[in-house]
Amino acid sequence: MRYEIKGEPMPVVICHLEAGESMITERGSMVWMSPNMKMETNAGGIGKAFGRMFSGEAMFRNVYTAVGGPGLIAFGSSFIGSIRALDIAPGKTVIAQKRAFLASTEGVDLSVFFQKKIGGALFGGEGFIMQKISGQGTAFVEIDGATVEYDLAAGEKMILDTGYLALADETVSISVEAVKGLKNVLLGGEGLFNTVVTGPGKITIQTMPISGFIAATGLAGKGN
């Protein structure tokens, strides 16, 4: 499989497949494809299906296979931002924001990841439940807005507003902590919880998570 990413700030990834190669997506992200791409919907196992559901994806997945010759399929982003290609392999597992997964080659597994300190994180909102992308292959993920990356040394910490962590190496420790001080909570306007990441490993921060966009534009609770 070879690919090209086009069209930011509302990008698509165009995947070129050889005969018999397949792509997997967890939701309706297919934008266009060649007529020889065959779609099959399955759960991929009950346990994995529930894991995908808790991580923000659908219980069922669509598998697209090139039949009878080379095929083409494009997957589109659902929000302004970028699409990243991740090389997934044993020892190169990635933790991603909820609903980040867009598509992948066969051999990539998607499951739920819970941040540490569950007692506090239960109230941490968007940042509590994340996605674990493991296995072997190429995965494509959506990132909201622009990105900033940091390589954290062992024991080095960074505090993020909850929902702004897009990607992290599996070696990074992730937890949710309450904002300290009643005055800060009531008057600070920054919410009740922060996400604390501790190295070693790389983290990718997104500048405008969709939850922040909704809050900033006042779209929450409004109808069409």
Q: pLDDT tens for residues 19-47?
A: 999 999 977 799 999 999 999 988 654 44
DSSP string, 107-137: TEEEEEEE-B-HHHHTT-GGGTEEEEEEESE
223 within a domain of the structure (yes/no): no
74 within a domain of the structure (yes/no): yes
CB 98: neighbour CB atoms within 10 A?
A: 20
130 within a domain of the structure (yes/no): yes
68 within a domain of the structure (yes/no): yes
**What is the domain-level CATH number for residue 27?**
3.60.160.10
Listed in sequence order, the DSSP H helices in the chain are: 46-54, 118-121, 182-187, 210-217
Beta bridge partners, 73, equal 15, 33
221 within a domain of the structure (yes/no): no
**What residues make up the domain containing 197?**
2-216
Q: What is the tens place of the pLDDT at every residue in 128-175?
A: 688 999 999 999 999 999 999 999 999 999 999 888 999 999 999 998
28 within a domain of the structure (yes/no): yes
Q: How many domains does the chain have?
A: 1
222 within a domain of the structure (yes/no): no
Three-state SS for 29? coil
224 within a domain of the structure (yes/no): no
